[in-house]
Amino acid sequence: MQSNTTRGFFRSFLARSDSVLAKQYQIRHSVSFQKSRASIPWSSSLIAVRDKNSLLLQQRAFSASSGDSKARKPSWWDKPNDSSKEKAKKNSENDKTVDEAPSTKRSSISSSLRKRGRGRIFSGSSRRQQQTSNAQNGKDAMSNASGNTSLAKLNNQIDSIRAQYVPYLPEVLLVPHNDRPLFPGLNYVSSFEFSGAQKALFDALSEIKASDKPYIGLFKEKDLDEEDQNSAYPPSLNRDSFHDVGVLAEIIDLRSIQDDNAQVDFQTPYTKVEVIDDTVEKEETVKDSLENGFRVFLKAHRRIGLDDIIENGPPLRAKIDHIDEPDRRNYDQDILQGYAKEITSTISGIIKLNPIMHEHAGMIQVAGSVNMTWPGLIADFAAAYVAQANPVELQEVLDTVDLDKRLERVLILLKKELQSGQVQSDINRKVDEKIGANQRRYVLMERLKEIKKELGMETDDKEGFMSKFRNRVIELNKVEPGIPMETQNVIDEELSKMETLEKNSAEFHMSRSYLEWLTCLPWTYFSKDNFDLLKASEVLDRDHYGLKDVKERILEFIAVGNLRGSVQGKILLLVGPPGVGKTSIGKSIAEALDRKFYRFSVGGLSDVSEIKGHRRTYVGAMPGKMIQCLKTTNVSNPLVLVDEIDKMGTGIRGDPASALLELLDPSQNTSFMDHYLDVPFDASKVLFVCTANTTDTIPGPLLDRMEVIRLSGYDLPEKVAIAQQYLEPRAKLESGVTIAESKSESSTECKNSENKNAEPTAEEIDKIKKVPSTIKLETGAIEALARWYCREAGVRKLEQHIERIYRKMALKVLRATEEELNNPEEWTISETQLSDYVGKPQFTSDRLFETPPPGVVMGLAWTNFGGSALYIESTNLKNANRQTSGDETTESRKVDGGFFVTGQLGDVMKESTRIALTHAKHKLQEIAPQNDFFEVNQIHMHTPEGATPKDGPSAGVTMTTALLSLAQNRAVSPDLAMTGELSLTGMVLPVGGIKEKVIAARRSGVKIIILPDENRRDVDELADYLKEGVSFYFAKTYDDVYKVAFPELD
């Protein structure tokens, strides 16, 4: 029943809005005001009785819809009164009479009434009619805007009033659901989806929607078993399957899920209409296809209780009890107000923490659907729109009818969400503080990248990388035979993997680096070898002086390559002292063959990864030296110079010598596997040239695969020629005492020097023209430098001294007067002036002894720096501790007084001293049996330069000669030098380094050299100028040595 309060409010509402209603009605139905009155009886009746009470309004409305002159309302309009059975029966009969009326006119008017009456009272006309009426009436924009605003306010107020007049149906169609429950009293529409198998439910909903009572009961199901959950419509549903409280919901729209183009006007959310002839409207039909299911749009009006299920269906029909909103006057107003304020405050806090809720709540407030002064609506609004609780908790709120308990439950949910939001906010704040700086840098870098892309300064995005790598592969495959199939498969897999990776991930950069190496290697690029012997000879003679045997061996190597068409399969090892030109010879070979040159040193290398690369799992992993060489040279057949191969080390990271063996061995390097690439690479086309100072420290298996070419040191004439042709012109150019054109007058060695000066400017040429052209080193000065300052086998130290001289000359030029500059004698450096530029000589004589005493003999030794003269000194001391008496004979005084050696001798050399002592005693007994020198004397043998370690067997004959010279008190010739290993029986065994030793002997002014007989072939290979002025004697036994050393005693 309608309360007097509601009637009074409705009456006062109509009275206050009299003028506005008339104006808005005329605007919205301006096509024909009279026509509108005739075609819409509800509206015309409303205007006619606008000043009467609301009961008369209802009577006229029902009379117009039913076509009856008597004003009657159906039985379902009022809430049933259980105390009056007769009234309920009478209402039921009236309801049946109204529902079964067959009149076509009645049906049309009823449909029109339902569309307008259930909607907003003054919004029944379509948008098209409004546009037409505005055009015809010529209303100005200001009036329309003012009228629309007033109309919107009135519609919202009428919606609130109309919610009190939802019919009280005793039975409804029961629609089950498992989603969040709907809450009544709020002007919002929710959709529920159902499967296409529930065709019966769809038909029932369609029928109800088309009737004048489009209301259903929406109840949430309780927990179902697995079988019921998987079924289209659970057959086991009964009264206990549902919660006790649901909502009476109005069907706003119903359509299949396939109907994507249809839209629902949620501002007027009742049904979709079309205008026909400006007066007739008909309802759209929903698509019949239910393959993908259907969706129903519902709006909740009030709470209902589930009394019983009267039809098991499908679909279900249930008997319900309507639950009205409790009267707030029956509760403590202070408590309700406190709850309402706290809920409002909590919602504000949640909105501040959650921007999404801010937008959601703002939308509801703009719609004006919730009157926040009603406590029940406050609770339902908070539960429906704000509380992010699970459906069970929300159902508990729906089950609660009492206002205070409902507000309390909702407040608890809101407080939980507020606390959760605060915790999340604190976590976000702490995280933001930690990553704020990095995030700011990241954002700025990303913006910088975008700016660079816009300016065309950067195109290295993901697609750019992929395109670059694919283009590289295409270019490599254009050259026969193309990339090996195994490598091609790895590249394709890595490209596919890279496409799925995020650009900023660490794995993406690892994959990018790996593809960079795979695609930049010269898998198919080779340089063409030049086997022109004439060109090779010119290059070697241009860059190096002397070394005839070495040049000849290199030309032989190139000649074999010319006949075979390839020089692969050979490993050259250049062995010689420092400064003799091993590295420059490697460069000359590369230039002669027209091959790219690459050098890397393995001296001190103890990590096998430097040769074979690192595993890609390590941070900063890179390929080994060989792969880096191929990338740098961009050909698969460069000349690779492996420098200092005799100085490799070993450590905890493997043995580099063994890894180098795999790289250099022609039988293994056809499929050299680098750890980083993890694909085989054919390194057999690479020409390897290695350098070393000695072969003693090179592992045997590695040395066995190399072809050794030995480079001896330079003698005095060679050093003078090298200084005049190469070192001096280069020193002049680098010190600035000659103009650049002088390059053409100097050797090409200067042109190929590391310091390649650019063409001088006119100002520089003017300055250099002031330098006297007579600046030079005399030949005698260069000889003195080589003899008294630089005795090493190479010319590196000689070059340093010459550069030092010309630097001082440059300083002298700048300090000199005009008169001094014009004096040519002032700028020629002689031997006597060397001390002014390079200091005092380091050596004052070629010999340690001009006339050696008895017990001193010159030997010849080989070192890493070339050959050198090595003196062996010996002396004796009488055995003073031995006391003799008159009756003692000579035999009793013959004792071994001891033997001592000094001079940093190695184990091999110490053994040679014992052998020399034994053989000297044996030889002395043969030539002078009565001589008891070794028995009655202590012998001390010393090798000068005690700070220098010495070792080797080649001093055996020299030690024996020194001991016999001491025992016989006879000095050997000062022009005599010897070398050779001595066996215990007196055999003279061959030794190495003959050329270096001969050069050292010539440097010391030796005229007679004794060598082992088996070294005769080495002497035959010496250049003629080295043999000039020197007599060579070859000994098979020590007796041959003795005859040359002591000719007067033989």
Helices (H), 816-931: 818-821, 834-838, 907-927
Active-site residue, 79 included: no
Q: For residues 953 and 912, is the Cβ–Cβ distance under 8 A?
A: yes
User: Would the CA dihedral through 791, 794, 795, 801 be positive or negative?
Assistant: negative
Half-sphere exposure of 108 (CA within 13 A, CB side): 10
What are the two backbone dihedrals, phi and then psi, of residue 634, each rounded to the nearest 5 degrees? Answer: 60, 25
Say which residues have a Cβ less than 8 Å from residue 724's Cβ, sequence separation at least 6. 779, 782
Q: Are strands 776-777 and 672-673 parallel, antiparallel or unpaired?
A: unpaired
DSSP for 890-920, written as a single string: TGGG-----EEEESSB-HHHHHHHHHHHHHH
At residue 600, φ and ψ (nearest 5 deg) are -145, 145
DSSP calls for 468-511: HHHHHHHHHHTSTT-S-HHHHHHHHHHHHHHHTS-TTSHHHHHH
Could you tell me the sign of the dihedral formed by the alpha carbons of 682, 687, 692, 695, in that order? positive
Report the 10 Å Cβ neighbour count for 633. Answer: 20
Cα separations (Å) of 1000 from 399, 452, 870, 992, 993?
Answer: 115, 68, 10, 14, 11
Pairwise CA distance, residues 794 & 999, whole Å: 12
The amino acid occupying position 180 is R
The one catalytic residue in 587, 596, 950, 997 is: 997
The count of C-alpha atoms lying within 13 angstroms of the C-alpha of 795, restricted to the half-sphere facing its C-beta, is 27
The amino acid at 133: S
Three-class secondary structure of residue 618 per DSSP: coil
Main-chain dihedrals φ then ψ at residue 687, nearest 5 degrees: -95, 115
Which residues are bridge partners to 323 per DSSP?
303
CA distances, 583 to each of 571, 619, 649, 862 (Å): 15, 34, 21, 22
Catalytic residue selected from 190, 954, 965, 1004: 954
Task: Using alpha carbons, select from 856, 875, 859 the residue that is nearest to residue 971.
Answer: 856
Residue 954 annotated as catalytic: yes
- Asked if 994 and 1011 count as a contact pair (C-beta separation under 8 A), the reply is yes
User: 3-class DSSP state for residue 556?
Assistant: helix
Separation of alpha carbons 553 and 541, rounded Å: 13
Supply 920's token pair. 């000297």
Q: What gap in Å lies between CA 716 and CA 996, rounded to an integer?
A: 12
C-alpha distance across the termini of the chain, in Å:
159
Contacts 24+ apart (CB under 8 A), 1039-1044: 1039/986, 1040/988, 1040/1013, 1041/957, 1041/960, 1041/961, 1041/978, 1041/980, 1041/988, 1041/1010, 1042/923, 1042/961, 1042/964, 1044/976, 1044/1008, 1044/1010
Strand order in the sheet with 937-942: 899-902, 937-942, 866-878, 856-863, 976-978, 1008-1012, 1031-1035
Alpha-carbon gap, residue 638 to 522, rounded angstroms: 11
Task: Give every CB contact of residue 718 below 8 A, 6+ residues apart in sequence.
Answer: 545, 546
- Residue 716: closest CA among 783, 800, 802: 783
519/523 Cα distance (integer angstroms): 9
Residues in Cβ contact with 975 at an 8 Å cutoff, skipping those fewer than 6 apart? 1005, 1006, 1007, 1008
Of 703, 768, 786, 680, the C-alpha closest to 999 is 786
Which residues belong to the active site?
A: 954, 997
